[in-house]
Structure 1
């Protein structure tokens, strides 16, 4: 994670940044994307150069199956190969993949708490990607490791794996005027 530059104020004291950004990347998903591309290429190869004598139906099913499975693997993994999180004074915004889709925006007025979690794994959520579990809430999991959990006013939670999550939680708590996690409740 890059350091977030702080702009000095006119009095010489350092001012807090107005925006916090974080990212997380999963390089292992590129292997799955390559497998999807290979499966799609196999389907195209079958369609172009096949001389199946057993009929058109088996050929058509093989081509459609390979291309469909390959495209699902390719786009499904590329959508969650990275995540970008941006927190400003109004909201937390999460964008997935290179196109920024799916995207989730949570207004800070809907957030009642923020926690740093040092270890989040895809196994806790049932895999990589955009996940929902009734007992846990919603999550964007692109890799195992640290992340942040937002507690929303309606009782739900939103979890995202992101580098430098502890700094992100601190930034959100400052915006919400919540005490630090290690501070006593009365301060």
Structure 2
């Protein structure tokens, strides 16, 4: 298992090479994935061993419905079981799920501000996952709790729920100050 440090890490003598990483996990979504797998299994069981006397159309509709619902639930929830955030000298990168998809990369040159939010809830965004709301911007919400909000140069915002978001915001602000002055920030 890969270690994800919470504090900025110096990876050499260059201040630009420091990296901050953070993660957030939602184990509740494994339950939804199990329900999706059960729907998928029901669809397969209906297709293999069903003796419907009312015709092929109802059987076909039931099999396709169960399998479609199962696949959507299974893959839709597994994509947002966890999120990994990585901030380096150039960009913030967000990867969702075990495969890292969907993925979003935001260059720090497009960021005008970063702030810590102590409580982000799925209810604020309309559920878990990759969300967009016209009045709020874009978000990756995998669980309830702390998050970081980036204010982008075009007026939009990007929110992500991640553990130790406060350290991430400090790290991003350091990088923003560094790019504005052209020299490393004094401690």
| TM-score where L is the length of structure 1 | 0.88
Structure 2 Cα separation of the partners of residues 78 and 92 of structure 1:
22
Q: CA deviation at 1:7?
A: 4.6
Structure 1 Cα separation of the partners of residues 63 and 49 of structure 2:
11
Say what the alpha-carbon RMSD is for the aligned residues. Answer: 1.8
**Contact persistence 1:148–1:168 (CA under 8 A):** yes
Q: Specify whether residues 18 and 7 from structure 1 end up closer, same or farther in structure 2 by C-alpha distance, changes over 3 A only.
A: closer
| TM-score where L is the length of structure 2 | 0.88
Structure number with the higher helix fraction is 2
* Stretches of structure 2 lacking an aligned partner (at least 5 in a row): 179-187
Structure 2 Cα separation of the partners of residues 96 and 18 of structure 1:
22
Q: CA deviation at 1:8?
A: 9.0
Q: CA deviation at 1:2?
A: 3.9
Q: Deviations over 1:109-152 (max 9, x none)?
A: 00000000000000000000000000000000000000000000
Tell me the equivalent position of 2:125: 125
Structure 2 Cα separation of the partners of residues 8 and 154 of structure 1:
32
Tell me the equivalent position of 1:183: none
Matched, 1:31 2:46: no
**Contact persistence 2:7–2:167 (CA under 8 A):** no
Name the SS for the 1:112 alignment partner.
Answer: strand
Residues 36-185 of structure 1: matches in 2 within 5 Å? 36-177=36-177
Q: CA deviation at 1:9?
A: 7.4
Q: Deviations over 1:163-186 (max 9, x none)?
A: 0100000000000018xxxxxxxx
